[in-house]
Structure 1
Amino acid sequence: MQTALGANGQIAEELTRELHRNVTHDIRLVSRHPRAVHETDELVSADLRDTRATADAVAGSDVVYLTVGLPMDSAMWQEQFPVMMGNVIAVCRQHHCRLVFFDNTYMYPRTAAPQTEQTPFEPVGPKARVRAHITTMLLDQMGAGNLEALICRAPEFYGPGRTQSLTNSMVFGRIAKGRRPMVPVSAHTRRTLIWTPDASRAMALLGNTPDAYAQTWHLPCDPDRLTYRGMIAVASAAVGRRIGYTTVPTLAFRIGGLLNPTVREVEELLPRYRQDNIFDSSKFMSRFPDFPVTSYRQGIQQLVEG
């Protein structure tokens, strides 16, 4: 049995498809209101803040994937993520499940230095501090030998379906609707984005590779990093017309945040768009050299052509 916690998000949905294709049909999907991806999926409703419900949800699982996402709400993150991580660690230890944690890069330094699995955490802002805290909770358990686990880390998403990210909503989603893209902060810094189906396929592969455990892995991305200007040029070629764009400065987000709480939550992330973002996934590609990575050109073409 392989179990996805936080099963309604795009990452978990793609993960479920990959497990069903290549690993097993014995899949359990857990969330407050889980939805089946395949007829054979087992659905379990649970609140991961409840230790008993979490234990019941993972019982009998060989591998548990923690893919929970929360809305961009710092107070909610501070309140809920540590409780969820604590419960998941406890019940995976109780039931002797292997744990695969889907992590992000919020806790990394806000610099242009290449990010590797050894990059130290330097969290700035409440969401970054929460992510650093819950990841450290798991790393401590892994280091103590209390839990068989691994960490999959991904940069910003782009991709099909219900993929949520600043880039997807402000750039590619608008192009697909025939609207002018809005570029956050700078069109001239290099970005590392991960195609969501690639992230999920890589997570399924790692979760079913015994020697991948007790490690952190950067999930695979196209190493030919483009600027937003370059991405929009690729989109222009795909749709056969020149696409203009508008760069949205930090001040505009700050003003918008005075009226819109969601925009206010985004402000913490904006310093990461002022310089290159170089997320290095060479460790993964060295271990799995035949893993097919979707190029930015392939992904962008799929998104804007619809």
Structure 2
Amino acid sequence: MALHTLLGGNGTIAQALYPLLLESGARVRLVSRSSPSVPGAESVAADMLDREAVMKAVAGSDVVYLLVGIAYDARVWKRDWPVIMQNVVDACKASRARLMFFDNAYMYGKQDGVITEETPYRPVSKKGEIRAGVARMLEREMQTGGLQAAIVRAVDFYGPGVTDKSAPGIFVFANLVKGRRAMWPVNADVPRSFNYVPDAAKAMVLLANDSRTWGETWHLPSVLPAPAGREFVRIAAGSLGTAGKVTVLPKWLLKAAGWFVPFMREAYEMLYQDEFAFRFSSEKFEKAFQFVPVSFEEGIRETARWFMKEKGNPG
């Protein structure tokens, strides 16, 4: 059986991905600082900044998934991401493992049209510049033929079980399920793309087991047309039986929040994704794999059901 190693085994995507890999008959190794214990999977503790630790964690792997999340701080990203990428590339080369890098869309910057895999990198943020640099590191390795790798990209995500690392989870579902007004950053009247986590995990399993994957960049499933914030809230509120009113958080308020909350200070430079239309296309993947993404209506309803069950506050 092929060994699939998930670097960042405690993260949101890893938690959705590894059960599907186990169901497919693969052996699974979860790697993180804390060595998560999961029935049916091997657990390994490793620091991604430690080259030898990464070498040992990857040894014997057939497919490696780089799913690592680090502190949401541009200074930390600039310092650590190039080191992490080089360590993982070197380890995959040494083990002759294929590498799938779970990337975001920050390097595209503000785009007027639909974002595809062919959209040029035009970052307008510090974190976007860093991610563009890291992506180019891997692209060079892919082009030289020294490593079989693929980049898979997602935007912000939502879904059952997705809470603290999801803007819809924090601003919409967590508030509505407690009878509060939903919130939305900056502009609730422009289209905003998201990825539904169960779809993203299914797509990665398909990609990992197909020879067409390697040497390419793929956008993970995201439905177009994307809803505006008010429509997203309306569907969520209808699923939870609550009022669909939304409080739009202005940029000045979010900037002020950054004076006290480090995460908000770092998130401020990314608000262009909410202020202007942000459309992310997965047509390439959908056509190649005959994949139909879960609609926003169904995905939002499923997420609302999960929040109602797990996060509700009866009585």
**Which category of TM-score, normalised to the shorter sequence, fits these structures?**
over 0.9
Letter in 1 for 2:9: A
CA deviation vs aligned residue, 1:71-124 (integer Å, no higher than 9, x gap): 311121111111100100011111110000000001112123110001111112
Listed as ranges, the gaps of 5+ residues in structure 1 are none
Q: How far does residue 23 in structure 1 lie from its aligned partner after superposition?
A: 4.1
Whether 2:124 is the aligned partner of 1:135: answer no
Q: How far does residue 292 in structure 1 lie from its aligned partner after superposition?
A: 4.3
C-alpha separation in 1, matches of 2:114 and 2:156: 15
Which residue number corresponds to residue 301 of structure 1? 301
Whether 2:146 is the aligned partner of 1:146: answer yes
Which residue number corresponds to residue 111 of structure 1? 111
Q: How far does residue 176 in structure 1 lie from its aligned partner after superposition?
A: 2.3
* Partner SS for 1:212: coil
Listed as ranges, the gaps of 5+ residues in structure 2 are 309-315
Contact 1:175 1:304 in 2 (8 A): no
Of 221-230 and 87-96, deviating more is: 221-230
CA deviation vs aligned residue, 1:174-225 (integer Å, no higher than 9, x gap): 2223221111001100011101111111112101111211100011112231
Which residue number corresponds to residue 79 of structure 1? 79
Matches within 5 A, 1:1-306: 1-24=3-26, 26-37=27-38, 39-163=39-163, 164-289=165-290, 291-305=291-305, 306=308
* Partner SS for 1:243: coil
C-alpha separation in 1, matches of 2:243 and 2:175: 14
CA deviation vs aligned residue, 1:231-263 (integer Å, no higher than 9, x gap): 111123212342211000111111111222111
Contact 2:187 2:248 in 1 (8 A): yes
Of 257-266 and 80-89, deviating more is: 257-266
Letter in 2 for 1:196: V
Contact 2:176 2:240 in 1 (8 A): no
Q: How many residues align?
A: 303
Contact 1:110 1:271 in 2 (8 A): yes
Contact 2:107 2:131 in 1 (8 A): yes
Contact 2:162 2:169 in 1 (8 A): no
C-alpha RMSD of matched pairs (Å): 1.3
Letter in 1 for 2:51: T
C-alpha separation in 1, matches of 2:57 and 2:286: 33
C-alpha separation in 2, matches of 1:98 and 1:208: 11
C-alpha separation in 2, matches of 1:55 and 1:225: 41
Contact 2:22 2:40 in 1 (8 A): no
Relative to the length of structure 1, the TM-score reads 0.95
Of 296-305 and 5-14, deviating more is: 296-305
C-alpha separation in 1, matches of 2:167 and 2:78: 21
C-alpha separation in 1, matches of 2:243 and 2:176: 11
**1:228–1:201 distance in 2 versus 1, CA, 3 Å:** same
Which residue number corresponds to residue 313 of structure 2? none
C-alpha separation in 1, matches of 2:303 and 2:175: 10
Of 160-169 and 211-220, deviating more is: 160-169
Q: How far does residue 136 in structure 1 lie from its aligned partner after superposition?
A: 0.6
C-alpha separation in 2, matches of 1:124 and 1:23: 42
Contact 2:221 2:285 in 1 (8 A): yes
Q: How far does residue 18 in structure 1 lie from its aligned partner after superposition?
A: 1.1
Q: How far does residue 21 in structure 1 lie from its aligned partner after superposition?
A: 1.3
Q: How far does residue 30 in structure 1 lie from its aligned partner after superposition?
A: 0.5
Of 14-23 and 136-145, deviating more is: 14-23
Contact 2:179 2:242 in 1 (8 A): no
State percent identity of aligned pairs.
Answer: 39
Letter in 1 for 2:120: P
C-alpha separation in 2, matches of 1:300 and 1:216: 27
